[in-house]
Amino acid sequence: MVDPSALGARLASSAVAPLVKKLFVKDQPGAALVTKPVRISGLVSFKGEKKDVTPKDVEKIADELVRRALKAAGPGEIPVDAAEAVAVRTALAHSLAALGTLTIEDYEAVALGPDEFARTLRSHSAVTVATFALSRDAELFLDRLLHTASLHILNFFTQRSTYVARQQTQQSQQLAQLVKAVDVLLERLPSQSTEDAAFEAQYASYIASHHGTLTIYGLDVYAGTSEWPLDTAYLSLEATRDRPGEGATQVAAEQVLAQHDHVLLRGVAGSGKTTLVQWLAVTAADRTYEHGLTHLIGRVPFVLPMRRIVRPDAELPIPADFLSAVGCLVAGGQPPGWVDRVLRAGRGVLLVDGLDEISEDRRESAKRWLRDLTRTFPGNLWLITTRPSAVPDRWLDTTGFAELTLSPMTRDDVETFVRRWHRAAGADEGIGTALLAAVRGASELNRLATNPLMCGMLCALHRERRGFLPQDRKSLYEAALTMLLERRDVERDVRATARLPFATQVQLLQKLAWWLIRNSRAEMDRSEAVHILGEAAPSMNLDGCGEEVYGSLLLRSGLLREPAHGRVDFLHRTFQDYLGARLAVQELDFDLLVNNADRTEWEDVILLAVAHARPREAERMLQRLVASGTARGKLLAAAGAAYAAELAPAVRQGVEDGVRTLIPPQTDLQAANLAEAGRDLALHLLPGPDEVDDRHARLVVVAAAKVGSPQALHFLTRFRDHPDRWVQLSLAQHWAVFERELYAQDVLAYLSLRPTVPVHAPEDLRALQAIGGWPDIHVTGAYRVEDLTELIVPEQLIRLTLEAPHPVEGLAWLSAFPRLTEVVVHTDVSAAEAQRLPGRIRLNSPLSPGN
How far apart, in whole angstroms, are the C-alpha atoms of residue 851 and residue 811? 17
Instruction: Tell me the DSSP string of 121-148.
Output: HHHHSSS-GGGGT--HHHHHHHHHHHHH
Instruction: Give residue-wise pLDDT tens across range 702-734.
Output: 999 988 877 788 889 999 999 999 999 999 999
The neighbour count for residue 689, using CB atoms within 10 Å, is 17
Which of the listed ranges 155-164, 479-488, 499-508, 720-729 does the model predict with the highest average pLDDT? 720-729
What does the pLDDT read at residue 30? 39
Judge whether 304 and 350 are in contact, CB under 8 Å: yes
Per mean pLDDT, which range of 15-24, 176-185, 524-533 is the poorest? 176-185
pLDDT band at 624 (very low <50, low <70, confident <90, very high): very high
Mean pLDDT throughout 296-323? Answer: 88
Strands (E), 456-564: 524-525, 560-561
- Helix (H), strand (E) counts: the chain: 39, 17
Query: What confidence category does residue 543 fall into, taking pLDDT thresholds of 50, 70 and 90?
Result: confident
Task: State the average pLDDT for the chain.
Answer: 79
Residue 728: its pLDDT value, please? 94
pLDDT at 516: 95
pLDDT > 80? residue 327: yes
Of 128 and 399, more confident: 399
Distances (CA, A) of 633 to 226, 390, 394, 620: 39, 15, 22, 13
What is the per-residue pLDDT for 46?
63
Q: Is the pLDDT of residue 492 over 50?
A: no
DSSP 8-state assignment for residue 39: B
pLDDT higher than threshold 80 for residue 234: no
d(CA 698, CA 727): 5
- Residue 109 pLDDT level (bands cut at 50, 70, 90): confident
C-alpha torsion angle, residues 612, 616, 620, 626 (rounded to 10): 80
Q: Hey, is 112 helix, strand or coil?
A: helix
C-beta atoms surrounding 75 within 10 Å: 5
Q: What is the mean pLDDT of residues 246-259?
A: 77
> Tell me: domain 236-408, CATH 3.40.50.300, correct?
yes
For 96-225, where are the E strands, in sequence order?
A: 213-215
Report which listed range, 95-109, 266-280, 713-727, 806-820, is most confident: 713-727
Q: Domain coordinates of the chain in residue numbers?
A: 4-166, 236-408, 664-737, 756-851
What is the distance between the alpha carbons of residues 299 and 349, in angstroms, rounded to a whole number?
6
Q: How far is CA 557 from CA 270, 398, 570, in A?
A: 20, 44, 10
